[in-house]
Structure 1
C-alpha cells in the first residue's frame, strides 16, 4: 500500500495475504472534488486576444485542470465586460468562475485628494502619448464629498469611461502633549495629541504599548490614522510617577464619649491622598471600654491604592453622661425651628446658627472643656461660657442640620489660652466657622485659611489667635 499514491486517481490491483490465504483486490482512487481557483481581472490598453488562463492566479486540484471560456469575450469591445470561465479537471469535475475584462486607454479609477481637489487629465491616461488627443468631458470639477464619481475622457473620437475616487490623501497633523501618570495607571493614546487637523476622522493609537509599570521618563510613539489610511507618526514623553507619599489624615483629635452612649469615631476625620483623592479611614477602638470611666487609645489608619499607610492616635475619654443626647436634640430642634426654614440652603442655615450662638452667649471665660454635651446644654439654658461653649453649641446645631464638620484647636505655646472652632463643608470645600465673639470684631463665618491668617497677623504676636497645625486639616479654597 505504501507504494500507491492515493492523491492520484487510478485503478490498482492489490494482493492481500491473511491466515494463509491470498486475496486479489481492486482499488480505485477517484477524484470527486471540483477544482478551485483564484481569479484576477484584466485591464488592457488596447484590444487583443486574451487566453482564458490569463485570468487565473492559482488553481488548486489533485489533478491537471483545463481552463476555457464558456462564451468567448468580445476583445474589440471598449469598456468592461464579464468573462465566464469553465475549469475541468482530469476526472471530469467542473467549476465556474467569473472575471472582468476591461479594454480602455484610461485607468479604471484615479484618486483625487479632497483637500486640494485638483483634477489632472494626464492622471486618467495609461499612456502619456495620448495626452495631445485627450479631452476631459466630465466632470468639470471634483465633487466636494468623499466618494466615487463617474468620469469620461475623449481620445481620438472615442469616449472612455473612468472613475474619480475623491479620498483623503493627506496625512493628519497634530501637536503632542506630554503626559504624567501614576505607576500602573493607564491612559488612552489620544491624550498625547491635541489640535488634530485632517479632512476626515482620525484615530490615535500607540505604535508600541508604553510600559506603565516602569517609573521614569519614556518616549511614546503614536500613530495618527485617518479614514483614508494616511498615517503620521509622532513622539511624546510619558512620565510614570511612583507614589511613595502616604495619605494625610486630618481632624484626629482627643475626644470625649459617654458611658454606653453611641459614638462615631470617624466624625470630623477626613483623609486625602495625593493620588486617590478622598479615601476612607479605619478606626481601631478595641482598647476603649465604653462601660468604664477612663482614658483609652484610639488608632486611625488609612491606606492608599499604592499601599502607602498613615496612622494617627488619639485619646478617648469615657465619662458619665450629665445630659442625654435626646435632651440636647430636643432643645436644638426647638431653636432651629425658630431660626431656620426648610427651604434654606445648608449655608443659609449655618449663618442663622452663627448669628444665634454669637448673640445668645455671654462670654465669662469659663467652661468644662472635657464635656462638650454639657457645655452645649449649659450654653443654651444658661447663656454663659467661653470659646468652648460657643464651639459646643455650634457642634450641636451644625450636626442637626447635617453639616459636615471638623473640630479645630489652637496650636498653643506655654502660657497661651486654648481656643476651639470648626472647619465646615457645605458642599463647596472646607471653610472656617467660629461663632465666638472677637476683639477686634470679626465675622468668622466661612473664612478661608488666608483670611484667618490675616486676622491672626493683626491680633497679638506670633499669629497667635488662629494659629493651628495645618498639617492636620484640609486646606480651604482660596476664596
Structure 2
C-alpha cells in the first residue's frame, strides 16, 4: 500500500470518529483534513422530516426521564421492528450527509494536491529560467572580459606610449641610458642634454626623448635612501664661545647635500671636555648620529698667518692679495682675515706696503706685513688660463684619480726634474711666463722650475705657498711649501750642482743643507708656516 492510500484511510477513519463524536455537541465544527473545514449546518440546510434529533440537528437531547427513585429510566432495547422508524431514517440521512462531505473533502484534497503540484512545477520552471539566464550572463561577461583583454593587449603592443611616465633613480646615479626610460624596445635618443641633468639633488626633472620619430616626455625622479657618513673630529673652543656642529665632523660622504646639527645644544660655559652628538641629515631625510667631543679652554693664543711673501702686480690688472695666504688658529677653523692696502697705488709703478690682520672668535689678533711691486704688464704676458691648460695636459699623463696628494706631488717632482733642463736665464716678468717657458721650451733657471711646479701643483689641488730666498746678495732662488694632508713641507724641483733631494723636507733638513751650501735656501721663517719636525708619514 502506497503512502497516499495510507494517508487517505487514516483521514477517513479520523473523519468518521470525529463526525460521531461531535453529533451530540452543540454548534461544533467538523474538521476533516488539515486546513479543510466543513461548515456547520444551519436551519436552512437541516433535514425537516421527523422530530429534531441529535442526528439531524446536532443538538443534545433533553434529559432522560427518571424513575421515582431518581435513577435514570432504563432505555428499552431496540428491535429490528423499529428499523424503519423515523429516528432510524434520520440516522441514515446523517450517514449520507457524512458520505457527501467525505466526497467533497476528497475532491478538495485532490484539488489541493493539484494546486501544490502546479506551484512546484511553476517554481521549478522559474528556477530553470533563472539558472539559464545566469549561465547566459556569466558567459556574456566572460566573453566581454576576454574581448577587453584582447583590446588592451593590442593597444599596449601597437599603440601605447613606449616611454615610462616616471623613472626613479638613486641620488648620484650617472650615465643614464635611453633604455632606462623605455617600457619596451624602441629606437630612441635623448632630446634633453643629459650632461646638464643633475642627480646630486632630490627632486624631479622632465626628460625629453625622441622615440620612433615622436617626441615623448618622461619624469626623472631622484631619491636619496642612503644615510650620510662622517667621522668625528675634536674641536677646541673658547669658554662661552660659539661652536658650529660642522666643526666636529669631517670626511662627510653622501650623494646629496648634508646639513649638520646638534642633537642637544652643548654647554660651553665651563672649561673641560664636553660630549656632543652631531646629527647628519641629507636631502632625503636620512640621518646619522656621530658622537664627538669639544675641548673648552681659555683661549689667549693668537692666530697664525702663513704665506706672506712679496707680491707683484700689473698696473690696470686685478690683484689677488689673499691667494697665497693661510690662517690657522688653535680654536677656530676659519679666521677672519683683513688686508690693509691703503698704501698701495695700483696706477703707479713702485713698491708699497701691505698689512694682513687676522682675528679669532676669542678676540686674539695677529698681523703680518709684506710688499707689492706695481709695474707695467709685459707685452708677451701669458694669461694664467693658458698655463693651467698646459699643466692639465701633463697631469693627464702622469697622474690618475686614485692617487693620493702625496703620490701626485711625487709625480710632479719627478716630471719637472726629468723634463726641464737647467739654464741660467728665464723670463721673470711673471710666474705664468716662467711656467709657459718650462712647458713649451723645457729649460730655464730656478724660477722656471718653481713656476712650472706651481702650475702643476695648483691644478692637482695640492695647497702650495711661494717661498723666496731672503738673502739675494749672492743669488736669488724660488721654491714652494706644500701640504699633502699632514703639514707644510719644502718642495724644490730645481737641480743643484751640489746634489740633493728636496721633496717634502722639514725646516731643519732644508736649513742644514742651506748652511752647507752657501745659504742656498735661506728664508725669513717668520713669513711662512713652520714644518713638522719629523718626516711626512702620509701615504
TM-score, normalised with respect to structure 1: 0.46
Pick the structure with more strand per residue.
1
Highest CA radius of gyration, 1 or 2? 2
TM-score, structure 2 normalization: 0.41
- Greater per-residue helix proportion: 2
